[in-house]
Amino acid sequence: MEDLKEWKNNEIWGLEAWKSLCRVRELCPLIQCITNYVSMDIMANTLLAAGASPAMVHAVEEIADFTPHAKGLCINIGTLTPDWTVSMKAAAAKAAESQKPWVLDPVAAGASTYRMERCLELVDLKPTVIRGNASEILALAGASIGSTKGVDSSHVSTDALEAAKELACRTQAVVAVSGAVDLVTDGERVLGVSNGVPLMQKITATGCAVTALIAAFVALQPNLALEATCFALAVFGMAGEIGMEKANGPASLRMHLIDALYGLDKESVLSKINISKYD
Amino acid sequence: MEDLKEWKNNEIWGLEAWKSLCRVRELCPLIQCITNYVSMDIMANTLLAAGASPAMVHAVEEIADFTPHAKGLCINIGTLTPDWTVSMKAAAAKAAESQKPWVLDPVAAGASTYRMERCLELVDLKPTVIRGNASEILALAGASIGSTKGVDSSHVSTDALEAAKELACRTQAVVAVSGAVDLVTDGERVLGVSNGVPLMQKITATGCAVTALIAAFVALQPNLALEATCFALAVFGMAGEIGMEKANGPASLRMHLIDALYGLDKESVLSKINISKYD
Amino acid sequence: MEDLKEWKNNEIWGLEAWKSLCRVRELCPLIQCITNYVSMDIMANTLLAAGASPAMVHAVEEIADFTPHAKGLCINIGTLTPDWTVSMKAAAAKAAESQKPWVLDPVAAGASTYRMERCLELVDLKPTVIRGNASEILALAGASIGSTKGVDSSHVSTDALEAAKELACRTQAVVAVSGAVDLVTDGERVLGVSNGVPLMQKITATGCAVTALIAAFVALQPNLALEATCFALAVFGMAGEIGMEKANGPASLRMHLIDALYGLDKESVLSKINISKYD
């Protein structure tokens, strides 16, 4: 009976996720990305493969002109420095002012005091969604340094569930914790997305790339940020599952994942989607 | 009769393009690239695959020593900031002074006033070639803001033909407008290059990469900048056509394109080249 | 008899290299990379494929917090500018202070006076290993400008053997000269690593990537820096050899190389390793 309900729900989730992806492909939303250097190639290619239009624009001189024309904004602090911080804050403020959704990726939030302070300043600027791994969300929720080991998580997503809910309540952001099961919460509801394959963690910046994809999905459904976040995570994960069928290692997985994202069809979305209530 | 003439011309173009590619492979020209972060990997790999030697050197402190040793210079304003602008202008001035050809890629020229102003300053430094998509060339020719939607074109190349001719006349640069048909003009003559496949637009920075390839070709034939530009566009497009035979999406196309560029042989160049007078 | 000895030695080298790789996979050392923009993607993916945990952290504000937690540090001057230089020196000093090994990649050392001066300052901060191509090592050892043509070597590794030995003696660093045969010396002993395939030179930043891999291997065997350097070079070269079996050009080689590095097994290491005394 429960199984049937789960299946029923996934049929609905699948249709909704498919519609969201179709919307991205049709409307081709312009997504401004202020992101780390490592991620730029895979992030831009992920957005293009999904049908969105990426623009890596970070000069503070351009934000007044450019940010209002973007449909969504992705801010990723991976290779943070003071000059970029100024741009990130200006763009986040401008997005908030223009009522455009923006998504924060607090890469390695707990790796240094400097990084944590900048994260907290960005969180104050009201991100629509915050996506990180468990170590990052734990660090950010607790404003604690030293818990993050570089950029890779030393926790599983469920370790960070309470922290994520608390962070969501406090900031009014949707918070997504990536992991074997991605947990997504608005502070009340919690959804789990179980798409994806472990080898994706061996490709640099896949987390960054999916954050940008969340920005694209949420840009077109700002009032359904929880669901749109789940759909972006699910779609990216499915592309990884399909890619894994042909992959021989992380580099070929990366290629097949992007190809699969580009070619993703309704049948695959409906058959592969794996979203469930998590509580 | 017209068909025969076209065929005849393409036989000649093919032989010339093949010679140009062979020259790049033999002489391995050092090409300095001051380019956006997104494009660096694919640009360097494109130049290497074609036989050139890329060097991403952008510190203003190095330009006096380095730029005179390069055979050509590629300047791309994709992820523009004030500090990089200083380097771009210094390098362009040094290249002009050393009578080295340099190529400008005015990425998203119309996306902000800041960007347009920097573009116009660079255009004043006499680029040998300017290559952009239709929206960028229209914006640059008209010095108009707001017509560019991010980095992707919202126009087809023929929309920008008159603007390109006018820009070429005014600046004495060869102007290339990328699109389904790439249009290349020195203000008087117009050539159309019809190589390439649509899916190349779904790979980030292919436009940036071909601009660098133009720099490599023009570096060795500075007095035939119109033709060398066409040959670089044709060669890159052919590599895309060959790559497309094996590709399953944008990421595998990217890989096969670079492989095909590296392996491109005389027979393929002669049979695939598609250049025609466009007027 | 000599052949037998060589074979015997390679059996031992193979077992030791395999153990080193297993140690990286088990301990997943955090490697801080302050590197050029072009290399970031392939460097991070190389470290991940080998089992290490890369972190591209370069803000001077973070070094006091972050560098002591890293197991090793890779500094690469490819796209050098004054602000990055400050971070490089601070991180190198901090690594030395924390007795963490650090590895220097003096990209295009001889391309400008500015670049050479920064290299010499970094060399004064006692790198554990210096890896470059022959032109770079020659330039660095002689503090001479103009001998480097961009980032590609115009010399073979043996040209730089004496310079490498002298540099190693003077700096107490292990010096590795990449080439068809990689030469590695501590100033007294010289080992030659003959793994790899020529086409790897047509992939941008493979040299940068192997330098980071050296940092990962040396991080776990700081007292055997000469051997660990050879093992990293051999392992990367073997991955290239395996990758080459499926490659059709430089882009597919890049993919298959990373896949092969991820999947490298004991049998391949033992059968392919090619290290010999070089004197």
Q: Do A152 and A200 form a contact (C-beta atoms < 8 A)? A: no
Chain B residue numbers touching A57 (CB-CB < 8 A) = 79, 108, 111-112
Task: Return all residues near C153 (Cβ < 8 A) that are at least 6 apart.
Answer: C133, C134, C135, C136, C178, C179
Assess if residue A78 is contained within a domain. yes
Question: B76: which 2 tokens?
Answer: 């791309």
Q: Give the count of Cβ contacts less than 8 A between chain A and B.
A: 100
Q: A204: distance to nearest CA of chain C, Å?
A: 6
Would you place residue B4 in the very low, low, confident or very high pLDDT band (cuts 50, 70, 90)?
low
Assess if residue A249 is contained within a domain. yes
What digits encode the pLDDT tens for the residues A32-57? Answer: 999 999 999 999 999 999 999 999 99
Q: How far apart are CA A69 and CA A62, in angstroms?
A: 11
Residue A258 is predicted with a pLDDT of 98
Residues A79-84, mean pLDDT to the nearest whole number: 95
Residue B156 is predicted with a pLDDT of 87
What value does the mean pLDDT of chain C take? Answer: 94
Q: Write the ipTM.
A: 0.95
Residues B35-43, mean pLDDT to the nearest whole number: 97
Residue B155 is predicted with a pLDDT of 86
Residues C198-217, mean pLDDT to the nearest whole number: 98
C-alpha of C53 from chain center? 16
What digits encode the pLDDT tens for the residues C245-272? Answer: 999 999 999 999 999 999 999 999 999 9
Whether residue B111 and residue A66 make contact (CB cut-off 8 A), yes or no, is yes
What value does the mean pLDDT of chain A take? Answer: 94
Q: Is the pLDDT of residue C149 over 80?
A: no
Residues A93-106, mean pLDDT to the nearest whole number: 96
Would you place residue C150 in the very low, low, confident or very high pLDDT band (cuts 50, 70, 90)?
confident
Would you place residue C148 in the very low, low, confident or very high pLDDT band (cuts 50, 70, 90)?
low
What digits encode the pLDDT tens for the residues A143-164? Answer: 777 666 677 778 888 899 999 9
Residue A4 is predicted with a pLDDT of 59
Please state, for a pLDDT cut of 90, what percent of chain B lies above it. Answer: 89
Whether residue B57 and residue C108 make contact (CB cut-off 8 A), yes or no, is yes
Would you place residue C1 in the very low, low, confident or very high pLDDT band (cuts 50, 70, 90)?
very low
For residue A88, the enclosing domain spans: 2-274
Q: Is the pLDDT of residue A1 over 60?
A: no
What digits encode the pLDDT tens for the residues C163-192? Answer: 999 999 999 999 999 999 999 999 999 999
Chain A residue numbers touching C260 (CB-CB < 8 A) = 249
**Number of structural domains found in chain A:** 1
Query: What CATH number should be reported for the domain holding residue C210?
Result: 3.40.1190.20
A37 Cβ under 8 Å from any chain C Cβ:
yes
Angle between helix axes B225-244 and B206-220 (nearest 10 degrees) is 140
What digits encode the pLDDT tens for the residues B148-194? Answer: 667 777 888 889 999 999 999 999 999 999 999 999 999 999 999 99
Q: C3: distance to nearest CA of chain B, Å?
A: 37
What digits encode the pLDDT tens for the residues B80-130? Answer: 999 999 999 999 999 999 999 999 999 999 999 999 999 999 999 999 999
Residue C5 is predicted with a pLDDT of 65
Sheet strands side by side (includes A53-55): A53-55, A30-34, A72-76, A102-105, A129-133, A174-178, A182-185, A190-193, A275-277
Closest Cβ opposite residue C38 in set B28, B44, B262: B44
| Nearest-by-CA chain C residue for B57 | C79
Please state, for a pLDDT cut of 70, what percent of chain A lies above it. Answer: 96
Question: Quick one: A99 exposed, middle or buried, by C-beta within 10 A (0-12, 13-18, 19+)?
Answer: exposed
What digits encode the pLDDT tens for the residues B14-33? Answer: 999 999 999 999 999 999 99
Q: Do A42 and C42 form a contact (C-beta atoms < 8 A)? A: no
Residue C155 is predicted with a pLDDT of 86
Q: How far apart are CA B176 and CA B105, in angstroms?
A: 10
Residue C68 is predicted with a pLDDT of 95
Assess if residue A268 is contained within a domain. yes
Would you place residue A278 in the very low, low, confident or very high pLDDT band (cuts 50, 70, 90)?
confident
Q: How far apart are CA A245 and CA A220, in angstroms?
A: 31
Instruction: List C-alpha distances in Å: A83 to A34, A88, B45, B81, C84.
Output: 12, 9, 29, 10, 13
Q: Do A137 and A164 form a contact (C-beta atoms < 8 A)? A: yes
Residue A6 is predicted with a pLDDT of 66
> Can you list the positions of beta strands (E) in A35-162?
53-55, 72-76, 102-105, 129-133
What digits encode the pLDDT tens for the residues B190-222? Answer: 999 999 999 999 999 999 999 999 999 999 999
Please state, for a pLDDT cut of 90, what percent of chain C lies above it. Answer: 89
Q: B31: distance to nearest CA of chain C, Å?
A: 9
Task: Return all residues near A4 (Cβ < 8 A) that are at least 6 apart.
Answer: none
